[in-house]
Amino acid sequence: MSKTKYYLRPFGILNKKDGSLLKKKNQAFIVNSFYFSHIELISRNKSIKKKTYQFSDFKKILEKKKEIKDLFSNLGYKNNRIEKILFKNKRFSIFGILNITPDSFSDGGENLDLNKAVNNAQKMLENGASYIDIGGESTRPGADEVSPQEEIKRILPVIQKLDSKSVNISLDTRNSSTMKFGILSGIKIINDVSGLNHDKKSVDVVCKHNIPVIIMHMPGNPKNMMKKNKYFDVVLDVYDYLKAKTDSLISSGVKRENIIIDPGIGFGKDYLQNLDLLRNLSIFHSLGFPIMLGVSRKRFIDSISKESNPKNRIGGTISATLFGMSNGIRIHRVHDVRDVNQALMIFDKMMN
């Protein structure tokens, strides 16, 4: 007989004033510094069952099952290391995307000139980015694989130039050799769309250098991921993958405090699957890790708004990002830093 799995999804976000008042009455709880009033309990065995509770009612069942109690304790996770390096007393953190590629879906070819790449990075920092996320390989659907040698050739001059200016840099790569060069050149975070699956030596690199890593869900690889988007339930399947992956990494020596998770919007998910994930983002808090969200200019926005030009999807990007923030997501990877930063500042001020 298979074991029943449980999941918790907080919902009903509250502003700080109302949330603080209701928390004193045991009618609200805090997740990642946001107040919520309700919770959905999901069980999965041969079928999936869902039941929603007001928090005051949910508290009554917490003691009945240890698995549920443990999940709820995960909702109160604190990661002091990530808090210190990403937020520095800010409510949210923005990673500005800088692709040093000829073929990325939105900004391919724009940053191949070193001076232009550095200038674009500086603009994103001035507009509110906490980190510049540099990548030398396109991972859009159908993209061809790039050798680590070519990837390093593309990104290293930009990383070295920005590091000389004391810029906080994250490195978007699937290759262990690229990670090594990046770390030696000053990058502070690894962002691996393969979740450290593409190159088995990557886990050793992350462990050896004690560096934070963003673990994303992607079935297969960029070339075939859109053919592998077969799920029984996309939300719970992605959750189960991230649960198994983070458990495995911790067993392999990666420190829990060094892990950030990303559900991988657009990576091996179609339009409806992306929307399902976005509607249920807060479920991933019960894994107990900081969460990154990357919705910037993505194709699901075109599916709704019929805007084929990625650069004209800023409105959709802002809408999806704010929806993520209303689910307690505080780390956002975007192209249009100024507009998203402004939107998040206003949203945060109204909520707090």
- Give catalytic status of residue 154 as yes or no: no
Residue with structure tokens 């070193």? 114
Judged by DSSP in three states, 192 sits in: strand
- Is 106 within 8 Å of 132 (Cβ atoms)? no
Task: Determine whether 24 is an active site residue.
Answer: no
DSSP code, position 280: T
Q: Is 296 left (phi over 0), alpha (psi -120 to 50) or beta?
A: beta
Q: Residue 42: beta bridge partners? A: 7, 50
Residue that is written with structure tokens 């070819």 in the block:
109
Choice among 298, 311, 330, 349 that is catalytic: 298
Residue type at 160 in one-letter notation: Q
Provide CB contacts within 8 A for 224, sequence distance 6+. none
Nearest to 299 by CA among 152, 182, 140, 150: 140
Q: Among the options 44, 174, 313, 333, which is catalytic?
A: 333
For 311, residues 6+ apart whose C-beta sits below 8 A from its C-beta are: 106, 297
Assess contact for 318 and 339: CB atoms under 8 A. Answer: yes
Q: What is the DSSP string of 124-154?
A: HHHTT-SEEEEESS--STTPPP--HHHHHHH
Q: Which amino acids are annotated catalytic?
A: 298, 333
